[in-house]
Amino acid sequence: MYLLKLLAELATTDTTPLEQSAPRRAALESLGRFSAKTLAAALPLGLAALPTQAGTTTILDSLTLALQLERLQEAFYARALAAPAGFFPADATIRASIVTMQRHQQQHITLLTDAITNSGGTAPARPNYDFTGSRNGTQPAFFASVFSNFDDFLRLAQLLEDAGVRAYKGQVEALISNDFILQTALQMHSTEARHAARIRIIRQKRAAVVKPWPSPADASITVAGKTDIVYSGENALEQSVPGYRPVPFRLLPIGSGANILTQGVPEAFDELLNTAQASTLLGLFTY
């Protein structure tokens, strides 16, 4: 089954030359399974010259990116939970929810770190975080009140959770050759989606114009040139099926609601963030 998957991948990938450092290759092999790239590397020379997986994201790269995002979120909640009394509102379920989310992120960090180290890889050093966006005071802050104004905190929480969902989604393709890691990543991914929905529901109850899922009807909370990357492309009006054929929603029996094509369709699909976009977002809050 794995072999068939890999052959299918090889058949559909471009001709990017194989480029992979030896340590990384060794780490991947010790995952006990293999990616298209390691298979290509293991094949005789003639076959190794065949097309390899598009792009250069390996399973190890994907796990590392996920680890960095989970650490960012965990640190964010840790600081909020350490804020002076009165920062959280009186409704005790709100603080309890943030505690739950932080616990999930700690659990994800453990899972991801184990997967990386057990495979012979090395988890990157933990960076410093500045959630005001000032990069430790070296530039103007765009979330200056994030730990003093609870609604500001919720806005950044929503951004980070929605971005986390999108970032996991952007990595699943790189994990397709490893059933175990793919399923685990998807299980973390839908946990993140629950977090995002909860944050959005808390905001909605505090009179923000927002739904539990990203919607064109949401009031924008992004900062142009900074956090707008989080929702870049999220309100796509079109979807495609393999072969990049667009789905003609207006011709399908999906109902006749006034906003079905302009609101329902974008809401029904969460979009992905690619590796570069997710890394850019990480860079806004790390130094």
Partner 1 sequence: MHTPSSPARMLARRSFFRVAGAGAAASALVLAGCGKDDPEPTVAGTPTLTLGSFVTTTSSDPNITVLNYAYLLEQIEAAFYDKVVATPPADLQPGELAYLTDLRDHELIHREYLKYALGTSAYDNSLSAPLVFNFSTFTLTTRTGVWTAARQLEEIGVAAYNGAAKYLTSAEHLNALGKIVSVEARHAALAREVLQPGSFADNVGTTGLDDAKTPAQIVALIQPFVPVVISTANLPTT
Using CB under 8 A, pick the residue from 191, 222, 274, 280 that binds partner 1: 191
CB proximity list for 259: less than 8 A, separation 6 or greater: 217
Interface characters, 2-41, with partner 1 (x: CB under 8 A): --xx--xx--x-----------------------------
Using CB under 8 A, pick the residue from 271, 275, 280, 287 that binds partner 1: 271
E strands, the chain, are 240-241, 245-246
Nearest approach, Cβ of residue 44 and partner 1 (Å): 24
> Which stretch in 20-28, 86-94, 134-142, 224-232 sits in contact with partner 1 by CB under 8 A?
86-94
CB contact at 8 A, 98 and 80: yes
Can you tell me the distance from the alpha carbon of 163 to that of 155, in angstroms, rounded to the nearest whole number? 12
Does residue number 216 form part of the binding site for partner 1 (CB under 8 A)? Answer: no
Does residue number 134 form part of the binding site for partner 1 (CB under 8 A)? Answer: no
Q: Which is closer to partner 1, CB of 103 or CB of 126?
A: 103
CB contact at 8 A, 57 and 51: no
Instruction: For residue 184, give the 3-state DSSP assignment.
Output: helix
Using CB under 8 A, pick the residue from 29, 270, 274, 287 that binds partner 1: 270
Whole-number Cα distances in Å, 163 to 59, 207, 259: 20, 22, 25
Using CB under 8 A, pick the residue from 179, 228, 237, 276 that binds partner 1: 179
Q: Which is closer to partner 1, CB of 175 or CB of 284?
A: 175
The residues pairing with 245 across neighbouring beta strands, listed in sequence order, are: 241
Using CB under 8 A, pick the residue from 20, 239, 274, 280 that binds partner 1: 239
Nearest approach, Cβ of residue 255 and partner 1 (Å): 6
CB proximity list for 105: less than 8 A, separation 6 or greater: 70, 71, 73, 74, 77
Instruction: For residue 275, give the 3-state DSSP assignment.
Output: helix
* Furthest C-alpha separation in the chain: 67
Does residue number 187 form part of the binding site for partner 1 (CB under 8 A)? Answer: yes
Does residue number 186 form part of the binding site for partner 1 (CB under 8 A)? Answer: yes
Where helices occur in 82-178 by DSSP H, the ranges are 92-118, 150-171
Does residue number 159 form part of the binding site for partner 1 (CB under 8 A)? Answer: no
Nearest approach, Cβ of residue 251 and partner 1 (Å): 9
Residue whose C-alpha is closest to residue 128's, from 137, 117, 118, 140: 137
CB contact at 8 A, 140 and 72: no
Q: Which is closer to partner 1, CB of 145 or CB of 190?
A: 190
Report the interface residues with partner 1, using CB under 8 A: 1, 4-5, 8-9, 12, 91, 93-94, 96-97, 100-101, 103-108, 110-111, 165, 169, 172-173, 176, 179, 182-184, 186-198, 201, 211-213, 239, 241-242, 247-249, 252-255, 257, 260, 264-265, 267-272
